């Protein structure tokens, strides 16, 4: 998916010093595009890097966001999640299994009224409901 060299190149390209921890976090994000939390990243990388600090994860993620390497999203408000897919897309959260899905949409085609004079910098689309998997399980159980 993304090897160490590719990660280093990407970081240097953006002006971020490619430390070992940062490389690993960036690689993890590219290998786990399901919107992981800081804690999930920390837990996963701790196995390989026993000295890893939670603070480093937070610092790294903040750096990545400010340098435009990742986007952060807070769907529910309990945990911030990180997204390495930079292409504009919407998010669907299944309230049964908690999975966050990406979906495509033409963000700029949304017609609004009441935003005259507003400078729009970001458009965030969040849908909630039940995913096909959970929907199917529910139907089966109901029989």
**List of residues contacting a second copy (CB under 8 A):** 74-77, 79-80, 90, 92, 95, 101-106, 109-132, 135
Question: 127 is in the binding site of which of DNA, Mn ion, Zn ion, none (Cβ under 5 to 8 A by kind)?
Answer: none
102/30 Cα distance (integer angstroms): 15
Q: Looking at 28-36, 49-57, 91-99, 114-122, which segment touches DNA (CB under 7 A)?
A: 49-57
Q: Looking at 59-67, 91-99, 105-113, 131-139, which segment touches DNA (CB under 7 A)?
A: 59-67
Cβ atoms of residues 38 and 81 within 8 Å: no
Residue 98 is encoded by which pair of tokens?
């908690």
CB of 130 to a second copy, least distance (A): 4
Residue 117 is encoded by which pair of tokens?
């004079």
Torsion of CA 14, 84, 42, 51, to 10 degrees: -30
Answer yes or no whether residue 112 interacts with DNA by CB under 7 A. no
Question: 97 is in the binding site of which of DNA, a second copy, Zn ion, none (Cβ under 5 to 8 A by kind)?
Answer: Zn ion
Question: 141 is in the binding site of which of a second copy, DNA, Mn ion, none (Cβ under 5 to 8 A by kind)?
Answer: none
- Applying CB under 5 A, the residues found at the interface with Mn ion are 83, 85, 102
Exposure string of 110-131, with b = 16+ CB inside 10 Å and e = fewer, is eeeeeeeeeeeeeeeeeeeeeb
């Amino acid at each position: 998916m993304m090897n160490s060299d590719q990660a280093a190149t990407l970081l240097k390209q953006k002006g971020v010093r490619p430390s070992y921890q940062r490389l690993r976090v960036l690689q993890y994000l590219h290998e786990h595009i399901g919107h992981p939390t800081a804690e999930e990243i920390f837990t996963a990388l701790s196995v390989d890097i026993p000295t890893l600090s939670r603070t480093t994860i937070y610092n790294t993620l903040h750096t990545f966001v400010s340098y435009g390497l990742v986007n952060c999203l807070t769907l529910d408000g309990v945990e911030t999640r990180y997204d390495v897919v930079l292409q504009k897309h919407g998010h669907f959260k299944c309230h049964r299994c908690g999975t966050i899905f990406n979906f495509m949409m033409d963000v700029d085609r949304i017609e609004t009224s009441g935003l005259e004079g507003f400078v729009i910098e970001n458009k965030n689309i969040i849908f909630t409901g039940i995913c096909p998997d959970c929907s199917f399980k529910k139907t089966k159980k109901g029989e």
